[in-house]
A and B are shown apart, each in its own frame.
Chain A
Amino acid sequence: MTAPIKFYQTGTFTVGNRLLSPEQRSVQSSLERSNSLNSGHRACQGCGEALGARYAVDAAMRATDGQLIAANATGCLEVFSTPYPETSWQLPWIHSLFGNAAAVGTGIAAAMKVKGRSNVRVIAQGGDGGTTDIGFGCLSGMFERNDDVLYICYDNEAYMNTGVQRSSATPPAARTATTMAVGAEPGALFGQGKNVPLIAMAHEIPYVATATVADLRDLEAKVERAMSIHGARYLHILVPCPLGWGAASQDTIKLARLARETGLFPVFEAVHGEVTAVTKIRQRVPVEEYLRPQKRFAHVFGAKAQPQVLQRIQAQADRNIKRFGLLDLEMSS
C-alpha cells in the first residue's frame, strides 16, 4: 500500500490519472465512460455546467451500471442539450417544467420501486434558479420524504438561460440584468443569502455535498458516494458561466478553483446533517483575486472602486473559512 496521492502532486490541478492504478482512475479517463451528455450540444465555450454535468452524470452512470434515469429542470442544460431532432442524452431523460425536477424525480423513483426495479436509480438536476428559487418547494418536499433521488444543482449564480438575471444564489454586488451596476449600491444587494446545501443539511438527509468543476475527480467521487446511498441526496456544484460572469472562457476552471481557495465557496460533505469532510484551502487567496477577472464585479474596482464592498465579501469568505474549518490550523494564523 503506497501513500495516498494528492492530485496536485501530478503537477496540474486536473485529474492526474497517470500516477494512479487503473481502478483509481477517473470515470472520464476511461474508454468505458457512458458519454451521457454527448458531444455536439450547444453549450457556450467554457460552460461550467456542461462540464459539471458531463462528469456528474457519467459518474452516476458508472456507479449504477447504467441503470439511471434523469429528470431535468428547464434551463441552459435542458435547452443546449436537446435541440431536437438532436439530443445529447444517452440515458433516459425527461424535462417537464422549470420548478418540478425534484418532484418528477420522486415520481420516477416511485414508479421504479412499485415495479420492483429499485436498482434503477434517479437523478434530478437543474440550475440554481430551478433549484434555489422556483424549484425549492419541490426540492424540500423530496428531501423531507427522503425520496430515493440524487438532486444535482449546477450553480452558476444567476438565470443564465434567460439572459443573466438575479437568482437567490447570486452573490452580493454581482451585476446581473436585474441588479444593474448603477446607483449608490450597484449590483446585487447584500441579503441574508440562501445557502441551499445548509438548508438541505437541515433536512438531515443522508448525504449533502458541494463540489466545483475545479476538482473533477472530487466531483466524481462525491457522485459515486451519493449513488452508494439510498434516500434523498443533494449535490451542489459551482459551475462558472463565462457569459454571465463576464469571464474568459478559458478561466472557468480557474475561477471555480479561486472560489474555493478564497473560501467563498466551501467544498464539503455532510451525512445526516453533520459535516463529515471539508476540502481544505491549499493556498489562501484574497477574494479580490477571484472577483477581479469577472466583469460582473467590475464596478467594485476601477475609478469608482468600492473598498467597503470588497471588505464585506472578504468577511463572508473569512466566516466560511472559520465556520467550515477550511484552513489547516498551522496555516490559519
Chain B
Amino acid sequence: MQKQIEGSRAVAEAVALCRPEVICAYPISPQTHIVEGLGELVKSGELNPCEFINVESEFAAMSVAIGASAAGARSYTATASQGLLFMAEAIYNASGLGLPIVMTVANRAIGAPINIWNDHSDSMSQRDCGWIQLFAESNQEALDLHIQAFKLGEELSMPVMVCMDGFILTHAYERVDMPAQNEVDAFLPVYEPRQVLDPADPVSIGAMVGPEAFMEVRYLAHAKQTMALERIPEIAAEFAQRFGRNSGGLVRSYRCDDAETIVVALGSVLGTLKETIDELRNDGVKIGVLGIHSFRPFPLAAVRAALQGAIRVVVLEKSFSVGLGGVVSTDVRLALSGLHLHGYTVVAGLGGRAITKASLARTLREAVADKLQPLTFMDLDWRIVNRQLEREAATRRSGPIAENLLRDVGTVASKVN
C-alpha cells in the first residue's frame, strides 16, 4: 500500500509487520519517532502480542533485548549516537552470544561537541562489534531492510543494525510502499532460536571462554558474516521477487559501466550524488556511483569488481577516523589491493553539514582533474579553523574550542553554502 509518511513511521510500521515480541524503547534523537510509533501500535493492540518496555537507558535497552532474545523472543530496539555508545558493551555481548536482535541506528554525530545532526560516526564506531550493518539509501529501503534484517539475522543467529540517516531519512515524509502483513509473513518465517533459555531443556549461556577456544568463537562470528555475504544478495533477490523492488544487497552501481571515476558512498547521500553525477555526465564526464548497502560484512569482492575498471575512486564519507582519515576509505583500499587506482577520501557532512550538489560537483570535478587532495574535508571553514589555531599558538589558556569557533562564526551557527 502506498503511503505518504515520515521515515520513522515507515520503519515503525515495517518493524511491526515483522511481529517483534519484545521492543525496548529509550528516547534519543533522531530515532525517537520510531519507538514512539511502535509504542502506539502496541498500546492500541494493533501489534499483539508484543511487550513494549520503556527502559531507563540504552544500556538497559540492549540488555533487555539480550534477555528477551535468549529466551526465544524476536527482539527489537532503536538508537543513535550517544545511545549507541552507551550500549556499546551490550552490543558486543549480543553479537558475542549470537542473538539475532534487530536495531535501527538513526545515524547521528557523536559529541563533544554535542550535535544531534546526521553523520555516520556512531555506527562506524561499532564497525568491529560483530553486528551486520546495513545502510539504507531511502525511506523505502530503510523500511525494506528491516524486513530483510530479521530474516537474515535469525537465519545466521547474528544481530543486525539497520542504519538510516538521522533527520534526512527519519524525519522526511516520503511516499513508501508498505507491504501487507500476509506478504511479510510469507517472507519472514517464525523465529526458531538456535539456543534458548527453557526449563524443559536447561542450558548455560554466557560462560567464560579462555585462550583455548576464544579465537575459534570469534572466528565463527567472522565465518557467519562471510555467510552473510552470500545470503544478503539472495535475500535481496527473494525480496525483489516477492515485493517487486530492489532493496538491500551488498552494493549497487549507478552509471558505472564506462566510468573512469567512481564515487563510493553509503546512505541517503547517494541520492544527491546520483543527481550530481547525472549533471556531470551531461558535461561528458565519465563518472558513476557505487553505493555500499552492506558495510559489515564488507563486500570486498563486490567492491573490487565494481571499481576495478575505473581510473580513480573517490570515497565520500560521513565518518572520520581522527588521526588517519577515512573509515570507509580504508576498507575500500583493502578491496582495491594491488590495483593502483587514484584514491581520494572526501570527508563531508559531519554533524549535519549540508552536502550540496554544488559542493559535490566542484569537488568531483577537482577529483576528475586529479587536483583533489588525497584527504579532503568538503566545505571546511578554514577561516575559523586557522583562527583557532592562531589563538592556541598565541595563548595558553585559549579556552574551550567549540565555544571559540561558534563566536567566530557569529549568530548564524548553522551555515549552508
12 contacting pairs across A/B (C-beta < 8 A): A69-B198, A82-B206, A83-B207, A92-B199, A92-B204, A94-B206, A96-B90, A110-B53, A111-B73, A111-B75, A115-B49, A115-B72
A96 / chain B contacts, CB cutoff of 8 Å: 63, 66-67, 90, 93, 97, 206
When the two chains form the complex, which single residue of A100, A105, A114 contacts B73, counting CB atoms closer than 8 Å? A114
A104 to B93, CA, bound (A): 12
Contact indicator A103/B63 (Cβ below 8 Å): yes
Partner of B208, one of A83, A91, A140: A83
Assess whether A324 is interfacial by the CB under 8 Å rule: no
How would residues 65 to 82 of chain B score, 1 for a CB under 8 Å from any chain A CB and 0 otherwise? 111111111010000000
Query: Could you say which residues of chain B place their CB within 8 Å of the CB of A106?
Result: 53, 55, 60, 63-64, 67
Residues of B within 8 A of A104 (CB): 63-64, 66-67, 70
A88-116 interface (Cβ within 8 A of B): 89-97, 99-100, 103-116
Bound CA–CA A107/B72 (angstroms): 10
Whether B369 is near chain A, meaning CB under 8 Å from some CB there, is no
In contact, B59 and A138 (Cβ under 8 angstroms)? yes
> B51: CB under 8 A from chain A?
yes
Nearest-neighbour CB distance to chain A for B66, whole angstroms, equals 5
A110 proximity list for chain B (CB < 8 A): 21-22, 51, 53, 64, 67-68, 73
Output the least CB separation between B386 and chain A (Å): 43
Complex contact A107–B65 (CB within 8 A): yes
* B71 lies within 8 A of A107 (CB): yes
Q: B209 near A: Cβ within 8 Å? A: yes
Contact with B66, one of A83, A92, A100 (Cβ below 8 angstroms): A100
Q: Which residues of B contact A140 (CB under 8 A)?
A: 56
What's the nearest-Cβ distance from chain B to residue A94, in Å?
Answer: 4
Give complex CA distance A104, B65 in Å: 7
Q: Considering the chains assembled together, what is the distance between the CA atoms of A78 and B205 in angstroms?
A: 11
Additional A-B contacts beyond A103-B55, A108-B197, A140-B56 (14; CB < 8 A): A67-B199, A82-B208, A83-B208, A84-B209, A92-B199, A92-B201, A93-B205, A94-B67, A94-B70, A94-B197, A95-B205, A96-B97, A106-B53, A111-B69
Q: Is the CB of B57 within 8 A of A141?
A: yes
Chain A residues contacting B68 (CB-CB under 8 Å) are 107-108, 110-111
What 6 A-B pairs have minimum CB-CB distances, sorted nearest first?
A: A107-B67, A141-B56, A95-B206, A103-B63, A111-B71, A100-B63
A 58-83 binary contact with B (CB < 8 Å = 1; else 0): 00000000111101100000110011
> From residue 14 to 71 of chain B, which have CB atoms closer than 8 A to chain A?
21-22, 24, 49-51, 53-57, 59-60, 63-71
B203: interface (CB < 8 Å): yes
Q: Which of A87, A93, A137 contacts B59 (CB 8 A)?
A: A137
A108:B71 contact, CB within 8 angstroms: yes
Taking a contact as CB atoms under 8 Å apart, the answer to whether A107 and B66 are in contact is yes
Flag if B197 contacts A69 (CB, 8 Å).
yes
Which residues of B sit under 8 angstroms from A91, Cβ to Cβ?
199, 202
Report A-chain residues with C-beta under 8 Å of the C-beta of B75: 107, 111
Q: Report B199-219 CB contacts with A as 1/0, cut-off 8 Å.
A: 101111111110000000000
Minimal Cβ-Cβ distance residue in B for A98: B89
A111 and B72 contact, CB distance less than 8 A: yes
* Nearest-CB residue, chain B, relative to A101: B63
Looking at the assembled complex, report how far the CB atom of B60 sits from the nearest CB atom of chain A, in whole angstroms: 4
Q: Given the complex, which residues of B lie within 8 Å of A82, measured CB to CB?
A: 204, 206-208
Q: Closest approach, in angstroms, between the C-beta of A143 and any C-beta of chain B? A: 10
Are B21 and A115 in contact (CB-based, < 8 A)? Answer: yes
A185 within 8 A of B: no
Tell me, in angstroms, the Cα distance from A171 to B198 when the chains sit together: 39
| B196, closest chain A residue (CB) | A92
Assuming the A-B contacts A107-B65, A137-B56, are A93 and B70 also in contact, with contact meaning beta carbons closer than 8 angstroms in the complex?
no
- Cβ of B90 and Cβ of A97 under 8 Å apart? yes
B67 to chain A, nearest CB (A): 2
Contact of A145 among B54, B71, B73 (CB under 8 A): B54
Q: Which of B22, B49, B207 contacts A107 (CB 8 A)?
A: B22
Nearest-neighbour CB distance to chain A for B158, whole angstroms, equals: 17
In the complex the two chains form, is B50's CB within 8 Å of A114's CB? yes
Say yes or no: is A310 at the interface (Cβ < 8 Å to chain B). no
With a cutoff of 8 Å between Cβ atoms, the chain A residues found around residue B71 in the complex are: 69, 107-108, 111-112
Give the chain B neighbours of A113 by CB distance below 8 A.
Answer: 51
User: Of residues B21, B49, B67, B207, which shows the largest number of chain A Cβ atoms within 10 Å of its Cβ?
Assistant: B67
Q: How far is the CA of A290 from the CA of B69 in the complex (A)?
A: 45
Across the two chains, which residue of chain A brings its CB closest to B92? A97
Q: Which residue of B lies closest to A79 (CB)?
A: B208
Query: In the complex the two chains form, is B207's CB within 8 Å of A87's CB?
Result: yes
Is A275 part of the binding interface, using a Cβ–Cβ cutoff of 8 Å?
no
Say whether A137 contacts B204, CB under 8 Å.
no
Q: B67: which A residues are within 8 A, CB to CB?
A: 71, 94, 96, 103-111
Nearest CB of A to B203, in Å: 6
Q: Could you say which residues of chain B place their CB within 8 Å of the CB of A328?
A: none
Within the complex, the shortest CB–CB distance from B369 to chain A, in Å, comes to 52
Residue numbers in B under 8 Å from A138 (CB-CB): 56-57, 59-60, 63
| Bound: A67/B24 CA distance, A | 25
Residue of B nearest to A87 (CB): B204
> Which residues of the partner chain B approach A180 to less than 8 Å between Cβ atoms?
none
> Digit string of A103-134 for contact with B (CB within 8 Å is 1, else 0)?
11111111111111000100000000000000
Type the 1/0 row for B82-96, where 1 means its CB is closer than 8 Å to any CB of A.
000000011001000
- B89, B198, B205: the one contacting A97 at CB < 8 Å is B89
A141 touches B205 (CB 8 A): no
In the assembled complex, the CB of B16 is this many whole angstroms from the nearest CB of chain A, namely: 14
Contacts of A105 in B (CB 8 A): 67
Most B CB within 10 A of own CB, among A97, A110, A120: A110
Instruction: Quote the shortest CB–CB distance from B51 to chain A (angstroms).
Output: 4
B90 surroundings in chain A (CB, below 8 A): 96-97, 100
> Binary interface profile of A, 166-189, with partner B (CB < 8 Å = 1, else 0)?
000000000000000000000000
Which chain A residues (264-284) contact chain B, with CB distance < 8 Å? none
One of B65, B199, B208 near A120 (C-beta < 8 A): B199
Query: Which residues of chain B are near A109, meaning CB under 8 Å?
Result: 67
What distance in Å separates the Cβ of A162 from its nearest Cβ neighbour in chain B?
A: 14
Task: Determine how close the nearest CB of chain A comes to the CB of B368; give it in whole angstroms.
Answer: 50
Complex: A108 Cα to B21 Cα, angstroms: 11
Decide: A89 and B206 in contact? CB cutoff 8 A. no
Q: For A82, A90, A91, A141, which residue has the most chain B Cβ atoms within 10 angstroms? A: A141
Output the least CB separation between A150 and chain B (Å): 14
Minimum C-beta distance from B217 to chain A (A): 11
Closest Cβ of chain B to A140, distance in Å, is 7
Q: B55 touching A93 by the CB < 8 A rule?
A: no
Verify A89–B64 contact, CB threshold 8 A: no
Q: Are A84 and B202 in contact (CB under 8 A)?
A: no
